[in-house]
Chain A
Amino acid sequence: MSNGAATRRLLLPGSSFYVIFFVIPFVILGLYSFWTQIDFKMHPGFTLEHYQAVLTTSLYKGVFLRTIIVATLTAIIVVPIAYVLSYIMQFVFPRKGRILFDIILVSMFSGYLVRIYAWRTILGKEGLLNATLLQLRIISKPITFLIFSNWSIAITLVGLLIPLALLPISSSMANVSKDHLEVAGDLGSRGLNMHRTILIPMVLPGISTAFAISFILAAGDFVVPTMVGGTNGVMVGNLIADQFKGLAPNWPLGAALAMSVLVVLIAIHAALMRLVREITRW
Chain B
Amino acid sequence: MHDSLDELRNAKLNAPVSRRYVLNGILGISAVAAFGPLLAACAKSDSSTEAASGGKLGGELNFIGYSGEDAATVAKDFLTKNGITVKPTFIASPDEPLTKFKTGGRGQLDIISDNKDFQRSLLAAGEELYQALDLSRIPNAAGLFPAFASAEWLTKDGNVYGVPLIWGDEPCVYNPAKWDGVPAKYTDFADKKFKGELVMVDDAVANTWLWAKSMGIADPSRMTQKQIDATIKEMLKTKPNVVTFSASLGDQADVLVRGDASIAIGGWAYQIVLAEKKGVTLKSASPATDGTFYWSDAYGIAVDAPNIDNAYAFINYMMSPEANAAIATELGSGATISAAVDKLDANTKGLYDYSIVAQPGGGVLGSQVVTPPINDDGDIVGMPKWVKAWEAFKLG
Contacts and interface: CB of A to CB of B under 8 A. Distances in A.
Q: Do A and B bind each other?
A: yes
B260 A62 contact: no
B128 to A, nearest CB: 14
A120 B244 CA distance: 13
B394 A246 contact: no
Interface in A111-148: 111, 113-114, 116-117, 120-121, 124-127, 144, 147-148
Contact of A62 (B205, B382, B395): B395
A111 B99 CA distance: 32
A113 B9 contact: yes
Nearest to B16: A245
B287 interface: no
B5 to A, nearest CB: 10
B127 to A, nearest CB: 10
Interface in B93-130: 93-95, 98-99, 102, 118
Given A63-B395, A124-B259, A247 B239 contact: no
Nearest to B204: A246
A204 B318 CA distance: 62
B396 interface: yes
Nearest to A230: B244
A26 interface: no
Contact of A59 (B13, B247, B392): B392
**Range, interface on chain A:** 35 or more
A211 to B, nearest CB: 26
Given A59-B396, A147-B260, A230-B243, A247 B374 contact: yes
B69 interface: no
Interface in B199-235: 202, 204-205
Contact of B260 (A41, A125, A229, A246): A125
B384 A250 contact: yes
A221 to B, nearest CB: 11
A124 B196 CA distance: 12
A272 interface: no
Nearest to B392: A59
Nearest to B242: A231
Interface in A24-71: 39-41, 59-60, 62-63
Interface of B: 9-10, 13-14, 16, 92-95, 98-99, 102, 118, 196, 202, 204-205, 239, 242-245, 247, 251, 254, 258-260, 371, 374-375, 382-384, 386-387, 391-392, 394-396
Given A120-B254, A148-B243, A226-B245, 7 more contacts: A40-B99, A113-B13, A125-B196, A223-B14, A226-B247, A247-B205, A247-B374
Interface of A: 39-41, 59-60, 62-63, 111, 113-114, 116-117, 120-121, 124-127, 144, 147-148, 223, 226-227, 229-231, 234, 239, 242, 245-248, 250
